[in-house]
Amino acid sequence: MQNEVRDYLLGLQARILDALETADGGARFRRDAWTRPPESALQGDGASSVIEDGALFERGGCNFSAVRGARLPPSATQHRPELAGAPFEAMGVSLVLHPRNPHVPTVHMNVRMLAAQPATREPVTWFGGGMDLTPYYGRVDDAVHFHTTCKRALDAVDEAYYPRFKRWCDEYFFLKHRGEARGIGGIFFDDFAEGGFERGFALMRATGDAFLDAYLPIVQRRRDEPWGERERAFQSLRRGRYVEFNLVWDRGTLFGLQSGGRTESILMSMPPQAAWRYDWAPEPGSAEAALYTDFLPPRDWAA
């Protein structure tokens, strides 16, 4: 069971890296395999793949990791206190891409499985994941394409999933301290154990397999759009918001950093650069203002 998921995740990572390197054309991912030192609380291995200064991608990564531990931390079992302290195994693929051209959106995708083996109960497996898009300049056709691709993928497993996981995504990727969404959302699910392993694994594959179809057509459409200093400055400020979300609110990032995870792998989600300005607001009526008024507020893009 774990082997089946592991094989799927490694295959997914390989397919994605291959397609992204072809799309980039100018850079290759740097592969960094790692194994946890024997004395650490978590055991396991991983393969980080990072791209920097590509023709298309200014910075990004697609990481696989599989760790096991003797005691499941309480923060991972908020909804299942009976599993706290059980031996566990966790594996997943996580991806973030920051393109250089401000017309190409930043994207995030993650699929993960967690299995707990309590001494006196049946083992429990649950799944999490999703993908979401963070454009700098909002485009209706991109948003519709991204969400429609997510919807189609999840509909093939269960038609109830897309509306539910789309809403969850809008709620999760939200900067509460700014009252502002991180981007235009997508899908997000966590702690998913309905229908047992088979159903969860099907949901994981539906999500992972849809990523390239959801994202690459948008890249191809936007990559040659011209941009200048104005677009770049706006991208930098928006990247600052991305940093704020990931470091202040993202549970995976915080849990990883505070529990001794591999810092450089976790922080591959950071943009290559970011900027902050006091009380900055876009000029009313501008393309930058349209992001705030027409794209960040949750909308039903796949209607």
Q: Pick between residue 101 and residue 265 the one whose CB is nearest to a copy of itself.
A: 265
Q: What is the CB-side half-sphere exposure of residue 90 using CA atoms within 13 A?
A: 21
What are the CA-CA distances from residue 129 to residues 49, 91, 274 (Å)? 19, 11, 26
The reply on whether position 37 binds a copy of itself by CB under 8 A is no
Site string for a copy of itself, 43-72 (x = CB under 8 A): -------x-x------x-x-----------
Q: How far is the CB of 286 from a copy of itself (least distance, A)?
A: 20
The Cα 186–Cα 172 span in angstroms is 11
What are the CA-CA distances from residue 23 to residues 58, 99, 100, 160, 204 (Å)? 13, 11, 13, 33, 24
Strand 30-35 and strand 180-181: the pairing is unpaired
The Cα 21–Cα 50 span in angstroms is 11
Q: How far is the CB of 245 from a copy of itself (least distance, A)?
A: 10
Q: Say whether 79 is catalytic.
A: no
Q: What is the DSSP letter of 297?
A: S
The Cα 97–Cα 60 span in angstroms is 4
Binders of a copy of itself among residues 102 to 161 (CB under 8 A) are none
Task: Single out the segment in contact with a copy of itself by CB under 8 A; choices: 126-134, 152-160, 170-178, 185-193.
Answer: 170-178
Catalytic, out of 108, 145, 147, 177: 108
Q: Pick between residue 3 and residue 258 the one whose CB is nearest to a copy of itself.
A: 258
What angle, rounded to 10 degrees, do the helices at 196-222 and 140-155 form? Answer: 160
Q: Decide: helix, strand or coil at residue 180.
A: strand
Q: How far is the CB of 177 from a copy of itself (least distance, A)?
A: 4
Of the candidates 67, 22, 28, which has an alpha carbon nearest to the alpha carbon of residue 49? 28
Q: How far is the CB of 32 from a copy of itself (least distance, A)?
A: 7
The reply on whether position 264 binds a copy of itself by CB under 8 A is yes
The reply on whether position 78 binds a copy of itself by CB under 8 A is no
The reply on whether position 177 binds a copy of itself by CB under 8 A is yes
Q: Pick between residue 85 and residue 252 the one whose CB is nearest to a copy of itself.
A: 252
The Cα 117–Cα 257 span in angstroms is 25
Catalytic residues: 108
Residues that bind a copy of itself (CB under 8 A): 30, 32, 50, 52, 59, 61, 176-178, 236, 240, 243-244, 247-248, 254, 257-258, 260-261, 263-264, 266-268, 270-279
